[in-house]
């Protein structure tokens, strides 16, 4: 007796009876598609994702699976999918859809021809594993940074330090409720569900008279290659100058640090002196100071090179890296860090196309 089993996923009418396409048309489309995915193919060749995945396995081991269950996806597949998410600013659901729909994504993640592809829930679970303890994102960033140096893109030309605001979804709360959230307490009358959908780590800040809610990414960029070498993610209300010591790069071949007037403080100047680094911090005018010609000339000289960091922040904004979606500092730090990794990879492709470093 023959038993018919109804498939769990029914075929869509949209894909029924595909039109016959000759080989010439397929070859033409394949060649044109190659120009669109050239950068992605270049990143695939320049970055060793298997080494990055091995670093993740060491720092963020898998949970115990002695009770069995479906075999997990390879860490390299998951790392590649997270990279695509950061590069194209995709949510978990959008990334799952693109993986099912785009052959280039499937080939990049090494899942072409496979029956099962990681879904949105699997991506979310993997990011939880990376965000735990804040290790996963830092390990990926460090592994890719090491590969940049192995390809002779060493930190050169001095260090440029700056911070940029990354906006988060605004939490609607009264002043008393806001104060309770800032103190790490649950406001009176708030349900557990509402707390879970509230970002209790983001803070308000003002810049140029405008208010912003979210986080800050404090970055160290080398002045020659415009690659991000150090990052620290904090709530937006943290002053720029407070994070200078955390983003200094001892490996830069030129001992000079460039920064804007937000870092002008005696403590920061003493910090640079202790590390034997050149003081390239722009100066604020003192109250009542009239003769500012020398001060202005010094700041303009610094800003000619320091302004290169704005190109980096513009690149992050093009990747969607100036907005976050998650509700915790750990998850948002992971998202911002992966954006910086994607920016470095994209910049690496451009640098290689311009010629080998000298």
Question: How confident is the model over 66-103, as pLDDT tens digits?
Answer: 676 778 889 999 999 999 999 999 999 999 999 998 88
Is the CB of residue 110 less than 8 Å from the CB of residue 151?
no
Quote the CA–CA distance of 171 and 178 in Å, as a whole number: 9
- How high is the pLDDT of residue 225? 93
The DSSP output letter for 115 is: S
Backbone angles phi, psi at 130, to 5 degrees: -70, -35
Structural tokens at position 258: 């460039």
Residues paired with 221 in a beta bridge: 160, 228
pLDDT higher than threshold 60 for residue 139: yes
Rounded mean pLDDT of 235-243?
92
- How high is the pLDDT of residue 287? 74
| pLDDT range class, residue 346, cuts 50, 70, 90 | very high
- Between 49-53, 55-59, 62-66, 94-98, the lowest mean confidence (pLDDT) is in 62-66
Backbone angles phi, psi at 145, to 5 degrees: -60, -40
Global pTM exceeds 0.75: yes
Give 323-328's long-range contacts (Cβ < 8 A, gap of 24+). 323/166, 323/167, 323/168, 324/166, 324/167, 324/168, 324/214, 324/215, 325/91, 325/169, 326/199, 327/196, 327/197, 327/198, 327/199, 327/200, 328/131, 328/199, 328/200, 328/201
| pLDDT range class, residue 57, cuts 50, 70, 90 | very high
Q: N- to C-terminal Cα distance for the chain?
A: 75
- The residue ranges of DSSP E strands in the chain, in sequence order, are 159-167, 203-207, 210-222, 228-235, 256-259, 278-281
Tell me the average pLDDT of the chain. Answer: 87
Helix 120-131 and helix 92-101, axial crossing angle in degrees, nearest 10:
130
| Cβ neighbours for 348, distance < 8 A, ≥ 6 positions apart | 43, 46, 47, 148, 151, 153, 227
Question: How confident is the model over 181-232, as pLDDT tens digits?
Answer: 888 788 888 888 888 888 888 999 998 889 999 999 999 999 999 999 999 9
- Between 66-75, 113-122, 311-320, the lowest mean confidence (pLDDT) is in 66-75
- How high is the pLDDT of residue 30? 75
- How high is the pLDDT of residue 277? 92
């Amino acid at each position: 007796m023959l038993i018919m089993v109804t498939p769990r996923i029914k075929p869509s009418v949209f894909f029924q009876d595909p039109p016959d396409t000759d080989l010439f048309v397929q070859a033409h489309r394949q060649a044109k598609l190659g120009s669109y995915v050239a950068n992605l193919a270049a990143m695939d060749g320049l970055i060793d994702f298997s080494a990055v995945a091995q670093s993740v396995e060491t720092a963020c081991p898998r949970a115990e699976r002695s009770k069995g269950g479906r075999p997990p996806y390879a860490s390299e597949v998951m790392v590649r999918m997270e990279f695509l998410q950061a590069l194209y600013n995709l949510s978990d659901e959008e990334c799952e859809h693109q993986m099912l729909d785009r052959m280039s994504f499937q080939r990049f993640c090494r899942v072409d021809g496979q029956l099962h592809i990681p879904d949105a829930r699997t991506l979310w679970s993997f990011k939880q594993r990376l965000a735990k303890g804040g290790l996963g994102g830092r390990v990926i960033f460090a592994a890719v940074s090491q590969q940049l140096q192995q390809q002779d893109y060493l930190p050169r030309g001095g260090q440029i330090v700056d911070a940029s605001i990354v906006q988060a979804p605004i939490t609607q709360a009264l002043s008393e409720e806001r104060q309770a959230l800032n103190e790490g307490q649950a406001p009176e009358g708030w349900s557990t569900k509402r707390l879970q959908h509230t970002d209790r780590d983001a803070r308000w800040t003002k810049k140029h008279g405008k208010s912003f809610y979210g986080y800050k990414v404090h970055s160290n960029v080398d002045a020659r290659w415009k690659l991000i070498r150090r990052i620290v993610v904090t709530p937006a209300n943290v002053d720029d100058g407070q994070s200078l010591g955390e983003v200094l790069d001892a490996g830069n071949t030129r001992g000079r640090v460039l920064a804007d007037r937000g870092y002008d403080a005696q403590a920061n100047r003493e910090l640079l002196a202790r590390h034997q680094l050149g003081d390239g911090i722009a100066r604020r005018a003192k109250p009542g100071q009239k003769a500012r010609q020398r001060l202005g000339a010094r700041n303009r000289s610094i800003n000619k090179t320091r302004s290169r960091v704005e190109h980096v922040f513009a690149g992050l904004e093009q990747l969607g890296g100036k907005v976050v979606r998650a509700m915790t500092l750990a998850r948002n730090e992971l998202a911002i860090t992966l954006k910086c990794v994607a920016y470095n990879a994209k910049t690496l492709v451009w640098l290689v196309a311009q010629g080998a470093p000298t």
